[in-house]
Amino acid sequence: EQPKESPQPAPRQIFQERQRITGLPLYFQDYLSVRHSRCKEFRVYWTELRGTMLFFYDDKKAPMYSQKLDISALTSATNVYPDENGSAHFILMLSNGELELKANDSESGKEWKCFILTVTKLSVPPDESLLPGQLTRMHEVLEKEKKRRITRNDCSSTSLNRKSPPSSTLTTMPVCFYAVSRQEATEMLEKNPSCGNLILRPGRDSKNYAITIRHELDAPHLKHYKVMSKGTSYIIELERQVTLPSLQDVVNYFVTQTRGKLKPFVIRT
């Protein structure tokens, strides 16, 4: 008999999980080679454009992203001529630095650039080389993004009128979230103390989360806290359970309770 292959998550299941985690509509996806302005090497990610956010996944079938980037403050997207392998190479100029991207081929690179400009500038780029089918997709994405922003603004104003915390309306993950294991989070905090001392990470199952912190007292102290997802709320497993409406509120709770001694871990790029 042939050995049975281990079951892989169904594409629909992966899509639904990513949709739940990001809370944003998917506009475009493909492999991209990515390099931040201070890095020497490109790194390949399965990349998704959702709203005005780029989500980078280490694996095409991973439900949890490893990095994300807000491109809403894009100032320009500049083409670099294709390299010797025929890859399309372009640079995004953002308010906080540059991001270099390489697509597999010139056609994919052109689509990436046009989709990014469409969602950030809220207009389809006047590119005559776009095919009719591509133009149709750009206009569909443009209409979806316009509606998303109107809905988001309506929800925000409703929330503010009810005097509920603005953070409870956020659907994106906190900046200190990393799709890493307990051991990896520990190493990140030990090696980069200047970046912060609090990491939000996935729990051992895909439904819940955990907080890893590194306290500098007489000697460095590491602690881990479970954050359970229940309905639309999150419960911090402390001596006395604390229930909060969002993951951002969970992070804020640790910061305020320690009077700012705990700081979200953010890798500066």
pLDDT of res. 8? 56
pLDDT at 7: 52
Query: pLDDT at position 171, please?
Result: 44
Q: How many other C-beta atoms can be found within 10 angstroms of the C-beta atom of residue 14?
A: 16
Do 34 and 146 sit in the same domain of this protein?
Answer: yes
Cβ-Cβ contacts under 8 Å for 212 (sequence gap 6 or more): 182, 185, 186, 189, 198, 199, 201, 222, 223, 224
Same domain, 84 and 150: yes
Does one domain contain both 26 and 137? yes
Spans of the chain, pLDDT less than 70: 1-9, 81-87, 127-128, 154-172, 206, 217-220, 268-269
Residue 204's CATH number: 3.30.505.10
How high is the pLDDT of residue 154?
65
On whether both 139 and 70 belong to a single domain, the answer is yes
Within-domain flag for 165: no
Identify whether residues 76 and 137 lie together within a single domain: yes
How many independent structural domains does the chain possess? 2
Give the pLDDT confidence score for residue 268 in this predicted structure.
Answer: 64
With H, G, I as helix, E, B as strand and everything else as coil, classify residue 150.
helix
pLDDT of residue 155: 59
Q: Provide φ and ψ at 200, rounded to 5°.
A: -95, 130
CATH of the domain at 103: 2.30.29.30
Query: Is 140 part of any domain?
Result: yes
Q: Which helix (H) or strand (E) element contains residue 49?
A: strand 43-50
Q: What is the pLDDT of residue 48?
A: 96
- Nearest Cα to Cα of residue 238 among 228, 248, 252, 249: 228
Which residues have CB under 8 Å from 131's CB, separation 6+? none
118-145 pLDDT, tens digit each: 999 999 988 667 888 888 999 999 999 9
**Is residue 166 in some structural domain?**
no
User: Are 197 and 150 within one domain?
Assistant: no
Residue 42 lies in a domain: yes
Domain hosting 102: range is 12-155
User: 91 with 24, same domain?
Assistant: yes
Residue 67 CB neighbours (<10 A): 19
Does the residue 4 lie in any domain?
Answer: no
What pLDDT is attached to residue 116?
93
Residues 46 and 136 occupy one common structural domain = yes
One domain for residues 195 and 73: no
